[in-house]
Amino acid sequence: MADSICFINQKGGCGKSSTCFHLAGAFAAAGLRVLLIDADPQGSTSQGLLGSIAVEQLTIEQTTAGLFDEQNFFGDLSKIIRTTRFDGISLAPANQHLSRFNSPCPEQTGMDQFAMRDFIAQQVEADIVLIDCPPNLYRCSWNSMVAADYVVIPVPPEDFGTQGLRAVHQAVLNARKLNPDLRRLGHVVTRSDKRLLIHRSYEAKLRDTYADLVFSTVIPEASAFKVATACRKPVEYYQPSSVAASLTRALAREILDRISMKNKLRHVA
C-alpha cells in the first residue's frame, strides 16, 4: 500500500500546490513512484503538469470529479489517472468540474466520504500519494483527510498564514472519527524570507508552539519555484542544482524519515 499525504490549509496561496508539485519531482527523482491527486477545483497542480488549456478540456470522468459524480458510479476510475512526461509521476487531475462537488457539509455525504479512500486503495502502482487540497475544509479536503495516512500543513510565517491553524487541527481530529490512523506529519514553513524579522519571529513562534511537529527544512520564497512551475517542471527537473531544489529534496527526505520509508529511497543527492 502506498503512503498517502494530504496537504491542507484553508489559507489560500500558502504553497500547498507548489509544495506538492515540487515534492513530486524530488520523490520521483529519488526513485519513488508518485501519484499526485489534485483534489482542488482550481486545478493548480494539474495545470502545472499539463497546462491550463489541456486541463480545462478534461471531462468529469478524466478528473477527480469522477470520484464524486453519481453518474460515473459504474465508470472506470482508472481513466482518472494519467502518466506525465516525468518518469515515476502520475496524475489524477482536477478542473472546474470538481467545484460543484466541493460542498461545505461533507459529514452529511454518507458513504461518499470514502470515495477518495477507495480510489487510493486501488492504486497498487504508487509508492507515495500526494493530495493537493483546496483552501477550505469542505468536501474535497474532508475526503482527502478520510483517505490519507498523513497530513502536512504548509504555513507561511505570517499572521494571516498561522491564524487558521486551529481549525485545521480540529478538522484533523474530526476526520479521525472516520480515519483513526490519520496522523499530522508536520507543519512546513513555506514562502519564507529570512531577511524579514517578522518571518523569523513567526517561525520561532511556530517552533515554540508545535516543536517537533514543524519540519526543520524551511521552503523559502524563491523565483526558481515560480519559473520551474511556469516551465511545467518540478524544480528538481528544471534546476536540480538550485537551492530551491536542494531544500525540496531535504523536505522530501524529512518526510520519508518521518514515515519510515527510507528503505524505498534508491538514491538521494
Ligand X SMILES: Nc1ncnc2c1ncn2[C@@H]1O[C@H](COP(=O)(O)OP(=O)(O)OP(=O)(O)O)[C@@H](O)[C@H]1O
Residue numbers at the binding site for Mg ion (CB under 5 A): 16-17, 44
Q: Does residue 94 touch ligand X according to CB under 6 A? A: no
**C-alpha–C-alpha distance, residues 1 and 33, integer Å:** 12
Exposure on the CB side of residue 83, measured as CA atoms within 13 A: 5
Task: List the one residue from 27, 119, 225, 237 that touches ligand X (CB under 6 A).
Answer: 225
Q: How far is the CB of 181 from Mg ion (least distance, A)?
A: 25
Q: Which of 221, 227, 265, 268 binds ligand X (CB under 6 A)?
A: 221
| Amino acid letter, 180 | P
**222 is an interface residue for ligand X by CB under 6 A:** yes
Nine-digit cell at 256?
520519508
Q: Does 13 bind ligand X (CB under 6 A)?
A: yes
Long-range contacts of 164-173 (CB under 8 A, 24+ apart): 164/9, 164/10, 164/11, 165/9, 167/10, 167/137, 168/8, 168/9, 168/10, 168/137, 171/8, 171/137, 171/141, 171/142, 171/145, 172/8, 172/145
- What's the grid cell of residue 78? 482508472
Query: How many other C-beta atoms are found inside a 10 Å radius of the C-beta of residue 217?
Result: 18
Q: What is the DSSP letter of 241?
A: T
Please tell me what DSSP assigns to residue 133: P
113 binds, among Mg ion, ligand X, none (CB under 5 to 8 A by kind): none
User: From CA 29, how far away is CA 236, in angstroms rounded?
Assistant: 7
Binding letters toward ligand X, positions 73-92, x by CB under 6 A: --------------------
Residues between 129 and 168 with contacts to ligand X, criterion CB under 6 A: 134-135
Number of residues that bind ligand X (CB under 6 A): 20
> Which residue of 3, 6, 8, 15 would you call a contact of ligand X, by CB under 6 A?
15
Among 206, 219, 235, 251, binds ligand X (CB under 6 A): 219
Question: Which segment (88-96, 137-145, 203-211, 216-224) binds ligand X by CB under 6 A?
Answer: 216-224
Of 16 and 199, the one with the shorter C-beta distance to Mg ion is 16
Contact footprint for ligand X (CB under 6 A)? 12-18, 40, 42, 44, 134-135, 190-191, 219, 221-222, 225-226, 229
